[in-house]
Amino acid sequence: MKNDNMLRVGILGCGAISQAAHFESCIKAENIELYAMCDQAEDLLKRMAEIYPCEKTYTDYDRMLNDENIDAVIIGIADQFHVECAKKALKAGKHVFVEKPLGVSIEECEELKKIVHESGLVLQIGNMKRFDGGIQYAKKFIENEIGEVTTLKAWYCDSTGRYQMCDNVMPVIYTSKKIKRPAGNPKADREKYYLLGHGSHLFDTAKFLVGNPLNVQTKFIKKENMYSWLIACEFENEIIANLDLTIAVRMDWHEGFNIYGTKGSVTGKTYNPWFFKSSEVECWNESTGLVTRPFEPDGHFYRRQLESFADVILKNAPMTGADVDDGILTLRALKATYDSVRMGGKKIWLKDAGGSL
Ligand SMILES: NC(=O)c1ccc[n+]([C@@H]2O[C@H](COP(=O)([O-])OP(=O)(O)OC[C@H]3O[C@@H](n4cnc5c(N)ncnc54)[C@H](O)[C@@H]3O)[C@@H](O)[C@H]2O)c1
């Protein structure tokens, strides 16, 4: 059901994430109108507009930004282009929803932050796990019942079986010979590519649940095509943490967390996102002696994150998605993780991290 007041959105990029998540999410969202889409690959754009009807199509991003009917853009393009395209949108007076990670260099993201603040517009990052009902329940339990958090263990381990599983459940993903790609091949450096692509979820979920990470000390191993990071961290409020990022484990998708507090504990199991299934969470409250295990049937976190983005703009609702500060902190954590490996596992403070991945 559509509301009367809707956010008119233009999507930049007709690639995999838009096809698998954003087009459908805009059409299903109660408060969004899929008004326009843009891709320089004209054949792909035409095909997408046939599947997901919208008012306007553009091959030129600047022209889409000149369309005064558009309130906000969704940026679903390669990481290396995020900041440049987000800046342009803000300068054109459009709110921005940009895919994760926010960018690839800390400096470019700090620069973007200034523009976000000057503009007074909303910028939200596509860390959709914040809109997983199970994870949201865990967050509330942590805020209200767990006492003081002491310890976090979190893991994000992609599975070698993932491509087959995704292929089975995702829509057919179309491409074109004319798509715009970053110079070189950023995917060739798997270490950076996996940190940006997957590590950005691991750190953002951890931050969402227990607060800001302060430093990292990393152990890393690469064998054949398997990359594994074990990251010892300190978070604010003296929380100690161990994070495991492994791409890819020889088992099913393996993602989740254990969190210990002085008055309770939480465990969570998160599924491959393309199953659209909320995390299974168990919260143990020591004083009641009860374990609660919520059932959250709406696992369409891609739609939910866009509805929330639209509510922030249309209704001045509180921002629960990742904002520019969250995006910068995550990038700092990822760069610090990368640098720590290079320095033999040295402790790196996020505030000292700089440069790009
Ligand atoms: N949140 C998630 O679960 C999730 C999952 C997958 C990918 N992602 C993110 O989504 C982003 C996009 O990934 P993808 O695999 O869809 O990318 P992609 O390269 O498959 O698609 C990008 C499309 O955008 C177009 N494009 C790029 N710049 C353009 C410009 N300036 N003007 C016009 N067209 C332009 C390209 O032609 C291409 O068709 C990445 O940042 C990735 O990290 C997020």
The 10s digit of each residue's pLDDT in 288-300 is 999 999 999 999 9
Q: Band of the pLDDT at 3, cuts 50, 70, 90?
A: confident
Burial 220-258 (b: 16+ CB within 10 A, else e): beeeeeebbbbbbbbbeeebebebbbbbbbeeebbbbbe
Q: What is the pLDDT of residues 110-124, one digit of tens each?
A: 999 999 999 999 999
Beta carbon of 266 within 6 Å of any ligand 1 atom: no
Q: What is the pLDDT of residues 36-64, one digit of tens each?
A: 999 999 999 999 999 999 999 999 999 99
Across the range 189-196, mean pLDDT stands at 97
Beta carbon of 77 within 6 Å of any ligand 1 atom: yes
Percent of the chain with pLDDT over 70: 100
Q: Is 315 helix (H, G, I), strand (E, B) or coil?
A: helix
The two three-digit tokens of residue 105, written as one number? 């260099």
Q: Is 245 helix (H, G, I), strand (E, B) or coil?
A: strand
Choose which residue among 63, 99, 109, 175 to substitute to test ligand 1 binding: the one with the highest number of ligand atoms within 8 A of its C-beta.
Answer: 99
Q: What is the architecture, at CATH level 2, of domain 129-297+329-352?
A: 2-Layer Sandwich (3.30)
Across the range 318-333, mean pLDDT stands at 98
Determine contact, residues 281/134, Cβ cutoff 8 Å: yes
Across the range 210-220, mean pLDDT stands at 98
CATH 3.30.360.10 segments of the chain: 129-297+329-352
Percent of the chain with pLDDT over 90: 99
- In this prediction, residue 232 carries a pLDDT of 98
Nearest-angstrom CA–CA distance, 241 and 124: 26
How far away, in angstroms, is 320 Cα from ligand 1 center? 23
Nearest-angstrom CA–CA distance, 298 and 311: 18
pLDDT reading at 253 higher than 90: yes
Determine contact, residues 113/87, Cβ cutoff 8 Å: no
Please give the mean pLDDT across all residues of the chain.
97
Q: Band of the pLDDT at 236, cuts 50, 70, 90?
A: very high
Q: Band of the pLDDT at 348, cuts 50, 70, 90?
A: very high
Beta carbon of 17 within 6 Å of any ligand 1 atom: yes
Beta carbon of 273 within 6 Å of any ligand 1 atom: yes
- In this prediction, residue 1 carries a pLDDT of 79
pTM for this entry: 0.98
Closest residue by Cα to residue 152 from 101, 214, 102: 214
- In this prediction, residue 82 carries a pLDDT of 98
Q: What is the pLDDT of residues 57-91, one digit of tens each?
A: 999 999 999 999 999 999 999 999 999 999 999 99
How far away, in angstroms, is 139 Cα from ligand 1 center? 30
pLDDT reading at 23 higher than 90: yes
Nearest-angstrom CA–CA distance, 203 and 132: 15
- In this prediction, residue 331 carries a pLDDT of 98
The two three-digit tokens of residue 221, written as one number? 């191993």
Across the range 331-345, mean pLDDT stands at 98
CATH 3.40.50.720 segments of the chain: 7-128+305-321
- Beta-strand pair 123-125/149-159: unpaired
Q: Whose CA is nearest to atom 37 of ligand 1?
A: 179
Q: Is 12 helix (H, G, I), strand (E, B) or coil?
A: strand
How far away, in angstroms, is 174 Cα from ligand 1 center? 12
Q: What are the CB-based long-range contacts (under 8 Å, 24+) for 171-174?
A: 171/19, 171/20, 171/24, 173/16, 173/19, 173/20, 174/19, 174/44, 174/47, 174/48
Q: What is the pLDDT of residues 133-190, one digit of tens each?
A: 999 999 999 999 999 999 999 999 999 999 999 999 999 999 999 999 999 999 999 9
Out of 3.40.50.720, 3.30.365.10, 3.50.50.60, 3.30.70.260, select the CATH number for domain 7-128+305-321: 3.40.50.720
- In this prediction, residue 2 carries a pLDDT of 86
